[in-house]
Amino acid sequence: MKGVYQVLRGKPVGMTLFEVLISFSIFMLIVSILPVVFSLLNQKQEDMISYEEHILFLAQLQLDFRNGDSFWTNHNNTILYFNRPTDNSTIQFEMYQDKVRRRVNRTGHEVYLQNVKSMNVQSFDYGIVITLTSKNGATLHSTIVHPSFLPWGYSDG
């Protein structure tokens, strides 16, 4: 009767260097493909205006708009202007490439919104209506009422 040692001694039970290299190559191939797969699964639409960006844009616009005493648009309804009485400056929101930017006294370049195909601003006695169209065709409408129209007025304090 043969012992366990004699049975195992006759058969190779360890891994050879070749088997280790093949296993490592397969492992590296799988690991190198995973980031590509995850990026495809996690891909968002880059040509749309996100909800968070739109809300932040409106909040920043309202803050500037409420501090202005008068507002108007250009003849194409594509640029919003208003005066800031604290320093007598003119603030404008306009399209620049695929972005909505803010400029003060026709200088500067603060990007407030991206991936915008078109912006239309309509000026009324009570305030403004902004229509934004994203690159993918989604349309967002927003109405901002100027504090001078409100019967009780507006104050920051």
Residue 69: the pLDDT is 85
Domain count, the chain: 2
Q: Is residue 118 part of a domain?
A: yes
Q: What is the mean pLDDT of residues 7-22?
A: 73
Residue 14: the pLDDT is 66
Q: In this structure, are 22 and 85 located in the same domain?
A: no
If one counts every other C-beta atom within 10 angstroms of the C-beta of residue 62, the result is 16
Q: Is residue 100 part of a domain?
A: yes
State how far the Cα of 139 lies from the Cα of 92, in Å rounded to an integer: 22
Whether residue 123 has pLDDT greater than 60: yes
Residue 2: the pLDDT is 63
Name the amino acid, one letter, at 57: F
Q: H/E element holding 40?
A: helix 17-41
Q: Is residue 157 part of a domain?
A: no
Residue 64: the pLDDT is 86
Percent of the chain with pLDDT over 90: 28
Q: In this structure, are 36 and 55 located in the same domain?
A: no
Range of the domain at 106: 51-149
Higher pLDDT, 15 or 39: 39
Residue 10: the pLDDT is 60
Q: Which pTM value belongs to this model?
A: 0.64
